[in-house]
Every structure is written in C-alpha cells, then in structure tokens.
Chain A
Amino acid sequence: MKHFALRTLTGLMLATLLMAGTALADLVIVVHPSNNAVIDQSFLKNLYLGNTREFSTGERAEPLDLGAGDDLRDTFLNTAIDQTPVKYRRHWSKALFTTGQQPPRELNGSAAVIDAVASNPAAIGYADADALNDSVKVVMRIRL
C-alpha cells in the first residue's frame, strides 16, 4: 500500500516535471527512426568537435547545427558539448583552415532540423521539443 502510494506520487511528480518541461520547450537530440546507435554526451561532444565521424554502429554520422546566435544553439553548445559559442567557433575556424575539416552543417530552425533528420538516416541534430513529430527518433532530452 505504502509502495503503491510512493509510486503514484513519484509518477505524478515525473508527469508534472515532464509537463513543466514541455511547457518550457525541451531540447531534444533526434536521429532517423532507423538509427539504433548508442548516443551519449561524450559521443555528441566528439561528433560536434569533429573527433569522430561515425555512429557506434560504424555508420557515417552527419551532425546538424543551428545558425549562430540561435538561443537553442547556445544552450546545446553549453549543456550538451560543454563549449561556449566563442570557443566552439574558434575550434572550427582552426580545424577548418588547418585540417580542412568541416564544421556541422547549419540549418535555419528546429523544423528544418527535424525535416533533414527525417529524410536522412545518417543525420543527427538537436531541436526544440515543440517542433517534434514522429518522423524522427528522440535519443536524448535536455530539460530547460
């Protein structure tokens, strides 16, 4: 009885948190529905900084980014890959002109990211949870 009450309470709290989260528009990391790779924070960091080009499955990964100045982008850089926008820009300027490595492609807005991921099995991106639909798979959710 006690356990049931506790579980209900936890469930309610989680639901509330989830709802509150949705209201504040979470940031979601999305991949193509066919993608079964393991995706964690260290993978995201390595991918967005160009240290790896492949998913854990060995398939090629194409990271997508939002344009400079986008609030969601600043949040993603800060929380998911531990970079300030300036540091991130510097990293890629250097990489671009030293190794010819190219930074993640920039798209204009969450809806464009969702569309691009839905149509490309290699793509991975981040978007505003409000823009989500079931054409993509959510692999990580960052509560804002």
Chain B
Amino acid sequence: MKPTRWALIGALAMPLGASAYEMRLNGFMSIAGGMTLGDDQTMVIDPVNLAAYDNNLNFAADSLVALQAIAEVNDSMTATAQMVGRGGEDFNTQFEWAYLTYEATDSLDLKGGRLRMPLFYYSNFLELGYGYQWVRPPVETYNIFVTTLEGVSADYNFYIGDFSAKASAYVGSTRGTDPESGSEIDFKTLAGGSLDLAINNLSFRGSYNKADNATLTRGANPAFDFPIEFISAAAQYDNGTLFTIAEYTSTRNDTNLINNRYNGYASLGYRIGTFTPHVTYALYQEETNSIDPGYNQNPREYQSATFGLRWDFDIAAALKVEYTRREDTNPDSLRAVGDADLLSFAIDVVF
C-alpha cells in the first residue's frame, strides 16, 4: 500500500540522519473521558475512526498518545515522523506525518512524504490537545474523514507591509472511507493552497482544495468519478488574555449521491491566570445535490454549544472539562443524529 511505503521512507530516513546529526524525540498525550447524559444519546467525535461517546463512561474515544521524531539529515534537510495511537482505535499506531523537509532558503521550505492535509486552521495540530482550549476541535466542523495525504508541499514566508504571511501549496493523493456511508473515496490527485496572514493580535487563514476526479466506490456498485472542492476561512484575535476564533468551511461535491456541507463555529475564551473559561457555538449544515426530489438525501442540520474550562496546572500540562449541548434541527428522523448532552474531560501533556 502506498501510504505505508511513504511512512517507511520517513521512518528509515531518520536513524540514518541520527548517526551523523542530532535526533530529537518529543511527544504528547491526552488522557480523556466522557459520557452523554441521556440513555439514547451518542456523539461521534472522531470522523476518521467513528469513535463516539454514549451513556457509558468512556476513556478511549478522545485519548491518544503521539511520538514525534525529528532528525537532521544535513544542514538544510530534516526528516520528521509523527506516530499517533488513538484510544478510539485501540491505540493502534499510525504515521500521521512522515516527511522530509528541505530548507531551500530562509523563507522557503519544501516538503515531501506523508503530510497533514492543510484543510483547517487546526489541521496541523488536530491531535495536540495542549494547543487549544477544547477537549477536541468542534466536531460539527472538524469532520473530514481524511486528514493526511502523500505528496509534496511548499511553504513560503514573507511580509506584505506590516502583515507577516505564509503561503502554502500542495499536491498529492489520499484515500479514505466515509464512515457514514461506507463509501471508499480515492483522491488520486488532490491539490490546494492556503494563505496565513498575521498582524499584531489578529490572524487570518484561508484555504482552497480541489480534487477533479475523486473516485467513489460503494459496496458492489460501480465506481464513479466526481469533482470535490473544499474551502475554509478563519479569523482569530488573541491579545494574550481575551481570544476569539471563528472558522467557516464549505465542502461541495458535484454528485447527487453526496450532500454539500457548510459548517462553522465561533469560540470565545478568556485567560485568568492559569484558568481559561471558554464558550463555543458550532453549526453543521447540509444541502442536497439531488436534482430529483424523489432521490433526496435529506440534508442534515444540527448545532451545538460548548462551555468549558481549561486549567494549565503545569507549564507542560493542562486539565480540561467541558459540557456540550447538541440540538438536531433535522426534520427527517431517519437521518437525524438526535439531541445530546456530553460531559467530557481531558488531561493534555507535552514532553
């Protein structure tokens, strides 16, 4: 399998580099648990593996451990590998990243290997709980079932007046299984770009990603190709005490078998010493692509509010507790996800 081969290349490159140069090993861990408050309530929190909480206390769904190794191959080349084992997947370890970075100039990095798909604001640290206020980024938005790709990318850092900017572009391929429908989707060629802008306490991010010919295979049905397009936009303000972030995403498929999605969230937090209370509103919306009303995919719609508290009890560790209330506003009971109340907590450490 292609992904495994790439991961191996990354892994093999490292011990070689380590013999001549320094190798650095770091990691992070989240020990998390939670449960819904109603008998018949379930909440899926991991779109890749479909890990979910129900009315029984569960310590696996959000728990994970990650190890990252970075080795200098030479003065301008490094090999990076990140292995993540998720509780929702029995801690089976997977290479989330395995790539070589070539520092072409002070401001240009070229990467090749298994890379994180740069779809979202938090894409680069999806698993790094220590990096954000929540137990997990809002699932109403962070619900794309592929998160990595095999390919190449270029990151260019520059300035536009007082704005510091980073432009990235990538091309690669990936595949995944839509956990909901069981459809296998093969993104043979996927390309995209993102732009990050920052000035003082404000930062902005936008991304555009497109696969002209994704191949969908569902069960024994004949495979077919369709184009898919993903757009995201995010804005963040953080003055060190007060911070707020909003992100909006749109996923459009030109096939009447899959609904388009328009998702987003807005979050506000305030740091008081080592405590950070925060509140988030998130929205999941679908739009049917079907031209035939008899073949309606019954678009889903639900929203959630989350109230949480993060406590940084150590320089490298945080404890989080949060309550999420989800309301399903979908009139079609067959496609409804239902209302749910979720209590969850996490201890996130970096080492």
Q: Do A and B come from one complex?
A: yes
| A contacts, CB < 8 Å to B | 51-54, 58, 60, 68, 85-86, 89, 93-94, 96-100, 102
Which positions 17-45 of chain B face chain A at CB distance < 8 Å? 24, 26, 28
Q: Which residues of A contact B75 (CB under 8 A)?
A: 60
Contact B315 A97 (CB under 8 A): no
Q: Which residues of A contact B26 (CB under 8 A)?
A: 96-97
Cα separation A96 to B24 with both chains bound (whole Å): 10
Of all chain B residues, the one with the shortest Cβ separation from A96 is: B26
Contact A94 B103 (CB under 8 A): no
Contact A98 B124 (CB under 8 A): yes
Cα separation A141 to B70 with both chains bound (whole Å): 34
Q: Which residues of B contact A96 (CB under 8 A)?
A: 26, 68, 70
Number of B residues near A (Cβ < 8 Å) is 25
Q: Which residues of B contact A86 (CB under 8 A)?
A: 312, 315
| Interface of B, helix, strand, loop or mixed by DSSP | strand
Q: Does B331 contact A (CB under 8 A)?
A: no
Contact B80 A100 (CB under 8 A): yes
Cα separation A96 to B101 with both chains bound (whole Å): 14
Cα separation A144 to B340 with both chains bound (whole Å): 57
Cα separation A129 to B106 with both chains bound (whole Å): 31
Shortest Cβ distance from B156 into chain A, in angstroms? 13
Cα separation A60 to B97 with both chains bound (whole Å): 26
| B contacts, CB < 8 Å to A | 24, 26, 28, 66, 68, 70, 75, 78, 80, 82, 97, 101, 103, 106, 124-125, 128, 130-131, 157, 164, 312, 315-316, 350
In the complex, which of the residues B80, B101, B131 contacts A93, with contact meaning CB atoms closer than 8 Å? B131
Contact A94 B106 (CB under 8 A): no
Cα separation A33 to B131 with both chains bound (whole Å): 40
Q: Which residues of B contact A102 (CB under 8 A)?
A: 24, 70
Of all chain B residues, the one with the shortest Cβ separation from A98 is: B124
Shortest Cβ distance from B269 into chain A, in angstroms? 14
Contact B106 A54 (CB under 8 A): yes
Cα separation A63 to B128 with both chains bound (whole Å): 26
Of all chain A residues, the one with the shortest Cβ separation from B99 is: A100
Of all chain B residues, the one with the shortest Cβ separation from A93 is: B350
Of all chain B residues, the one with the shortest Cβ separation from A86 is: B315
Of all chain A residues, the one with the shortest Cβ separation from B122 is: A98
* Complex A-B, nearest 3 residue pairs according to Cβ-Cβ distance, in ascending order: A98-B124, A100-B80, A54-B106
Contact B125 A97 (CB under 8 A): yes
Shortest Cβ distance from B84 into chain A, in angstroms? 11
Of all chain A residues, the one with the shortest Cβ separation from B105 is: A54
Q: Which residues of B contact A60 (CB under 8 A)?
A: 75
Shortest Cβ distance from A86 into chain B, in angstroms? 5
Contact B106 A97 (CB under 8 A): no
Contact B350 A100 (CB under 8 A): no
Q: Which residues of B contact A94 (CB under 8 A)?
A: 125, 128, 130-131
Of all chain B residues, the one with the shortest Cβ separation from A68 is: B315
Q: Known pairs A93-B128, A97-B26; list 19 more (Cβ under 8 Å).
A: A53-B103, A53-B106, A54-B106, A86-B312, A86-B315, A89-B315, A89-B316, A93-B130, A94-B128, A96-B68, A96-B70, A97-B28, A97-B125, A97-B131, A98-B128, A98-B131, A100-B78, A100-B80, A102-B70
